[in-house]
Structure 1
């Protein structure tokens, strides 16, 4: 009887010892889990689900954090794309304002160009007028009388040629020659072109206009029958060719006048 009681007491002690050891072991395991969880860096805990003692709550917090990180990243990328496009993107009103500015700049440039052209045109006219005072510029066919004939020739000295058209109103080619000489006088404006009645000078034209050319008061070309020098066309080019061949006109006499020269 005593032996049976002693055996039962021993078994009870062993069971209590085993329960104590099991409780201590479980406590040790829980402490290790907590220490391991605390030793994991904060970034790693954010990057994956926690499977420790927090269980479902930890998983829920992990997914919430992951969702926030994903949304934040997407928002940052979207903002970056907007910022990248911003310098190249304009609104409709900005585009219209830019067009207005461009049109205004073009108009201003055109006005400045017109002002420049006007300035240089006026400057050129002043130069021509000053030149006409220093160097005789003619540009016209002038009618003179027999009394003025000698003075009109003698007053032009130097290299200025004086071309005299002896005309008769009854000869048709005289009128045509007047037209050609007016055109040439504008082109060779440094040469002097005059016309005088052959009847006043008592000069016989023999059915042909005549041209006499003087330089320094000396007769240098005597074209009393100019119709013999040209063809039946009798155009301005032929008259110009005859005058240049006889030395009546040269490149030194060329000076084109502006249309509004006065």
Structure 2
């Protein structure tokens, strides 16, 4: 017999599927799938552990220190390797250059013996000496003085300038006998004449040279430098520069500073050897 519940539901109660039964079935299905998911997660974690290389970003203080030490070790090893490569490359290039020069010399010996002779170091040194000797002869013309020359009158003054070889440098001291600075200057020039024997050092009294009264009072001691008949240096009132007490080294430094004398300390060794040989031959 149909009841009120049957009419409301439209079907019999035994054919009715309640939601509670569905929920129970759903729970049972989910419970059955849970073990499978857990098994997959375990497999993933296991594979990740197998790939781990000993370093991790999420470590404690000890792990951070270890990572930093490892990083510095790798950096130093890389730097050492780069340095070794640079040294090896430099050695290789050096050896290649030396071998190339040797090959060129051997090749020149086979092809042209004259060129191989030009490449010889002894030949080049000998050629340099020969050229320096020629240049020194042209410059100095083998003229030697070695002493201070006192000029007696204006004619000797002009002859000392005009009749000398064009390559000779002439330094003339204009002085007065009663002045102490002039006396010291004469003694200094006498010493320098021995050192620079290729330079002509002269001295003349101002009144004998025909100079004015004012120049004799305030212009001496004075040094006039000539070369090839041309005045190239004019230094007056040198007592203001040196005072009443000075030495030959002071005058030498002054003339070197103004380009009137050569600095002996800067003469090349090859020139010194040529000069020594010429002195021995004399």
Bin for the TM-score computed over the shorter chain: 0.3 to 0.5
Q: State the TM-score, normalized to the length of structure 2.
A: 0.41
Q: State the TM-score, normalized to the length of structure 1.
A: 0.44
Q: Say which one has the larger Rg.
A: 1
